[in-house]
Structure 1
Amino acid sequence: MYDVIVVGGGAAGLSGALALVRSRRSVLVIDDGTPRNAPAGHVHNYLTRDGVPPAELYALGREEVTGYGGEVVTGTVTSATQAESGFQVELSDGRSFQARRLLVTAGATDELPDVPGLAERFGRDVLHCPYCHGWEVRDQAIGVLATGGMAVHQAQLFRQLSDDVTLFLHKGPELTDEQWEELAARGIAVVQGEVEGLEVDGDRLTGVRLAGGRVIPRQAVVVQTSLRARADFLDSLGLKAGEIQGVGTAVESDRTGATNVPGVWVAGNVTDPMSQVISSAAAGLQAGAVINADLIAEETRVAVAARSS
């Protein structure tokens, strides 16, 4: 029986675990080793750690958590249920663990548009976030693939980084007159027609191929992904991820990460699809602190009752 089980060993989970073990809580972190940013070569906008590979950042985090007495195991949580003194989680390999509280930081999965070649290059020269990868493609020929309502916004964001930005309308919504005017004013080219795939020379992206065979030279392609919360194992607690229009799914919580199931908190991309690594770490820290306070309140009630009896 642990004080807290943390499901997910990314920035949010390890940060929450660190706050808890430094408060002398018994903590178990369960991680399946597949963080959302695994395809990326580096983490950016993380103060003092800008440019660090994701795997290195998480290895450092695990070392810090275990250095204070926390435990980290590799495994995939398949279900979480109410137990007599809290919660029980089951792993795919048959192991089970119990804890008084749960902190779920399992993250999210990026679902890419159905265009051949995107998935294989995602995190390198197929990108989704100007703050994560924009500097690395500055001054390059950038294409923005329109599949949802964020395409014009993405094009404007990447225009800050390069003078050569082309918006491919593909399967995106029709542009308004105002949007056409804004794109023209910023010198963003617009190409109509469906995108059929990518052109690659060796390991280098060279262009975007339209249906019919026309190729527009590009060095990087920006896409809008659909983020799906990795939270199916919470169904057994009656806690489901809800749809966020135009974004994906997320588990609803209050500003501290508390869900509508008492004793269960969430942090990071599982509840905030737009959160970056550093803000996920901050959310994990906050959730860990609130969980510790919640445990203290429970322990105080028990102590008062025992003293009065």
Structure 2
Amino acid sequence: MTQTSYDAADTYDVAVIGGGAAGLNAAIILGQARRSVVVFDNGAPRNAAADHMNGFLSRDRMNPAELLAIGRDEVRKYGGEFHDGTVVAVEWDEDSRGNGFAITLAGGARISVRKVLVATGLTDRLPDELSAFGERWGRDVLHCPYCHGYDVRDQPLGVIAKSVEFAMHQAPMIRQWSDDVVLFLHRIEDLSAEDREKLAALNISIVEGEVAAPVLEDDRLVGVQLADGRTVARSAIFVGGAVTMDPNDSILRSFGAATAATMMGEFVTVDMMGATSVSGIFAAGNVVDPSAQVIMAAAAGAKAGAGINMALTADDLEAALALRGSISA
């Protein structure tokens, strides 16, 4: 990625922080609206471990990195700029009379922007006792059935969850892709007789006991070892119900953006056009929606881009009216 040098005089309409599908699609919309845009990206997308995407119209099975490369070229076509430096602070810009933001980069460079889009995604974290499974992340240790289910169809599959709620959410869903599904209870101790009956009705087996580690052969998963030494043969494991999804939302939280509790944790809330509760700050993608696949994140970015342009247009109109009034006076 080409890095650009900035000085205190640099001003843009919009800073997009995060160059994944959401951020890039927003930048394209804004570029086409003839807004000046700078995109900051650390080059570490959530789906970096995956070798292809599923469920993206016209881009099905495309490598995620290829999609981002195409997106960057499209952003540049409309005048967007990129910077791979780290954003260390976003603050109200006192010189803009509360209508803009100052962004400080590692190294001390600062730029001024009128609006900010945060599209920094989230970080998936497995519990410490399952950390060994993280080494297989995106290969045969998976989190999203819509992202990976078709790729492991008709194989012996397993589900590991951290609660009954997550177990009963994901195990029946995984059953859609295979008739050989095992739910590892791991540390779940309160699975009811009613829930067991539901799983039995779907021919989902239940394995009691704590999970210890993945079993590998020739760099592929072949089973799950339990703490008591037993091994259960499996070729892929879904752990979406075991991970903690931590939104990378420190920028949003620093401004006191409103949040709401979800099944996946507490996330900053946005309206239908991506606006947060903080004037001038928008958000899109996994940073506010943990369930968004790539195509959903891209769509959210497009809506946020349109929302930001509408906000800028309203500001432009207000400024024009004020100027007209001062000239008339």
TM class, shorter-length: over 0.9
- With normalisation by structure 1, the TM-score equals 0.96
TM-score normalised over the length of structure 2: 0.90
Deviation at 1:19, TM superposition (A): 0.3
User: 2:134: which partner in 1?
Assistant: 119
- CA offsets per residue over residues 252-300 of structure 1, 9 Å max, x none? 2222211111000001111111111111111111111011111111111
What are the residue-to-residue correspondences of 1:69-84 with 2, within 5 Å? 69-83=79-93, 84=95
Q: Aligned in 2, Cα 1:125/1:247: closer, same or farther, shift over 3 Å?
A: same
* 1:239 positional shift: 3.5
Residue identity (%): 49
For 1:110-150, what per-residue CA distance to the aligned partner results, in whole angstroms no more than 9, with x for missing partners?
01133142110011100111100000100111010121221
Change (3 A) 1:116 1:236: closer
- One-letter code aligned to 1:302: A
2:28 matched to which residue of 1? Answer: 18
Q: CA deviation at 1:248?
A: 2.9
1:293 corresponds in structure 2 to: 310
Relative distance call for 1:171 and 1:91 in structure 2 (3 A) is farther
Cα distance between partner residues in 1 of 2:319 and 2:104: 28
Indicate which of 87, 95, 102 corresponds to 2:116. 102
1:27 aligns with 2:56: no
CA distance in 2, matches of 1:184, 1:18: 49
User: Equivalent of 2:146, from 105, 109, 131?
Assistant: 131
- Structure 2 gaps of 5+ residues are 1-10
Aligned counterpart for 1:66 among listed residues 76, 85, 94: 76
Say if 1:116 and 1:198, in contact at 8 Å, map to a contact too.
no
Spell out structure 1 runs of 4+ moving beyond 6 A. Answer: none
Aligned match for 1:197, one of 209, 213, 218: 213
**Once structures 1 and 2 are overlaid, which stretch shifts more, 44-53 or 89-98?**
89-98
Q: 1:159 to 1:236 in 2, by over 3 A?
A: closer
CA contact 1:143–1:220 (8 Å) conserved in 2: yes
Alpha-carbon shift at residue 31 of structure 1 (Å): 0.4
Written as runs of structure 1 = structure 2, the 5 A alignment for 1:222-301 is 222-223=238-239, 224=241, 225-239=243-257, 242=259, 244-301=261-318
The code of the aligned residue for 1:110 comes to D
8 Å contact from structure 1 (residues 82, 237) kept in 2: no
**Contact 2:260 / 2:269 at 8 angstroms: preserved in 1?**
no
Query: Residue by residue, what CA displacement relative to the aligned partner does 1:218-263 show, whole Å, maximum 9, x if unpaired?
Result: 10011022111112234443347x4735413422222221111100
CA RMSD of aligned residues (A): 1.4
* Number of corresponding residues: 308
- Where do 5+ consecutive residues of structure 1 fail to align? none
